[in-house]
Amino acid sequence: MTKVTIYSSVACPFAHRSRLALLEKGVDFDVVEIDLQNKPAGFTDISPYGKVPAIKHGEQRVWESAIINEYLEEAFPEPSLLPKEPILRAQARIWIDFANTRFVAAYSSLLRSPDSEQQKAAAVELQNHLRFIENEALAKLSGDGPYWFGNEISLVDLTYYPWFERWATLEEYRNFQTPAELTRLQRWREAVSQRESVRAIANSKEFYLQRYARFAPVPASVN
């Protein structure tokens, strides 16, 4: 079988989600670490946007993490990382879109904005997103299971988790606190963190605080 090569950056949450998908699929792959501040010559031949992740599978290239993960689901169908039922697959894609268009945007705005008022607005937005996930996703789709769709891990779990591994950056640099009443979300985060795939490539809180300090050099209160 043709081996997959993933072009990645260890601190990048988008690359993180595709590495997790490869590990959960049990796909044999190589990792090429890309220094995003000093990209190698010819990198855009692999990733036309000049971003990570990108993969090569034989002579084929795929880029953009959500699309890579869908490709991996189709190219390596077992174990499946999407629900079987069409309506649940649609729900999975809705929540992946929510991550890409809303959740990640609020996280990034809160961490990166130099303006305290923008930080406060982003904090409120992010807390609202967390409550929405708790009440509209986990409370309705998880049942008694620990993951987004119950007892089986899915691409949705892998889509969100990298930002939660980096959550200490919001706590440290933006004094952001996750609402204590979001117990399903806390349970979900703990369950995913214990996956073998997650533990295999996990980095420490200190790693992320050091790597992300340049995005938020001055701690700011958002309460």
Residues tagged active-site:
12
Cβ atoms within 10 Å, residue 193: 13
Taking the C-alpha atoms of residue 32 and residue 138, their distance in angstroms, rounded to an integer, is 35
Q: What are the φ/ψ torsions at residue 67 (nearest 5 degrees)?
A: -75, -40
> Going by C-beta distance under 8 Å and a sequence separation of 6 or more, which residues neighbour residue 12?
36, 52, 53
| H runs (alpha helix) in 36-152 | 43-46, 65-75, 86-98, 104-112, 116-132, 139-141
Torsion-angle region of 143 (φ positive above 0: left; ψ -120 to 50: alpha; else: beta):
left
